[in-house]
Structure 1
Amino acid sequence: MMHDREIRIRLSNIQHAVGQAAHHLSAERNLTGELRDTIQKLDRRSDDISEMLVSEDYADVPKLVHDMELLGARARRVCASERMQVTPEMKAAVNHMHRELFDFKQHLH
């Protein structure tokens, strides 16, 4: 079982990674709606992390991280598709975000 301190650190890391992806999203010009929609959903879910950090109630962390990891995997697939023209920075941000989510999900189970 993870300690609260480690959960807080990992959630903060995820928030930062999602924020970076959202930042790069705003600089992208030729994105499909699917990638834009997925990153925006992740950004909204990141708000749930803020609420958890404030309340220090981590009961829903496994579900939240699972849901976000699925969205992160979807964003990664869209970025990797050959029809998608994204900057290397956007790809790197999405890959980093997904790695953070996937790694945390693995540690929760």
Structure 2
Amino acid sequence: MMMQINEIQQRFNQVEQTIHTASEACRNALLLPMDLKDCIQHLDEKSGEVKMTIQQTQDEEQIRQCIDDLEQLGDQAKDACERAPSLDDEIKNAVMQAHRELSDLKHQLH
């Protein structure tokens, strides 16, 4: 059974908050690999768009597709994180948490 739309909205608000936290941490970091910075910024922007979509549509398929796309960005951010040699724990944890929450949500929608 698919989650209710309002459940998805609530879950996504949490996910978006986590992504935003990661984004803020990256913005304040001095020595951050460009690919990671780009990934997180992209993820943050995209999550804003997805939030609008979830609020405006009842189309489960469209919502699922949006979450899938975001989760792929989350994967890229996670990979970039793992490639970064001396990454601040705060940033690493924030990115990993955002990735984990996106994955969880994705699995709940499939």
Fold in common (TM above 0.5): yes
3-state DSSP of counterpart to 1:29? coil
Question: Which one of the candidate residues 49, 61, 64 is aligned to 1:62?
Answer: 64
C-alpha distance in 1 between matches for 2:58 and 2:49: 11
User: Within the alignment, does 1:10 sit opposite 2:22 as a pair?
Assistant: no
* Identity between Structure 1 and Structure 2 (%): 30
User: Within the alignment, does 1:41 sit opposite 2:42 as a pair?
Assistant: yes
After superposition, what is the alpha-carbon deviation per residue over 1:12-66, rounded to whole angstroms, capped at 9, x for unaligned? 0111011011110112111111101101110111111331244244442111111
Whether the 8 Å contact between 2:50 and 2:67 is mirrored in structure 1 is: no
User: Within the alignment, does 1:93 sit opposite 2:94 as a pair?
Assistant: yes
After superposition, what is the alpha-carbon deviation per residue over 1:44-101, rounded to whole angstroms, capped at 9, x for unaligned? 11111331244244442111111111111111111122x4322100000001000110
Q: Provide the aligned length of Structure 1 versus Structure 2.
A: 108
What runs of 5+ residues in structure 2 fail to find an aligned partner? none
Query: 2:44 corresponds to which letter in structure 1?
Result: D
Whether the 8 Å contact between 2:22 and 2:98 is mirrored in structure 1 is: yes
C-alpha distance in 2 between matches for 1:76 and 1:100: 12
- Corresponding residue for residue 82 of structure 2: 80
TM-score (norm. length: structure 2) = 0.88
**Where do 4+ consecutive residues of structure 1 move more than 6 Å?**
none
CA RMSD in angstroms comes to 1.5
C-alpha distance in 2 between matches for 1:56 and 1:86: 38
Query: 2:34 corresponds to which letter in structure 1?
Result: G
TM-score (norm. length: structure 1) = 0.89
What runs of 5+ residues in structure 1 fail to find an aligned partner? none
Whether the 8 Å contact between 2:27 and 2:37 is mirrored in structure 1 is: no
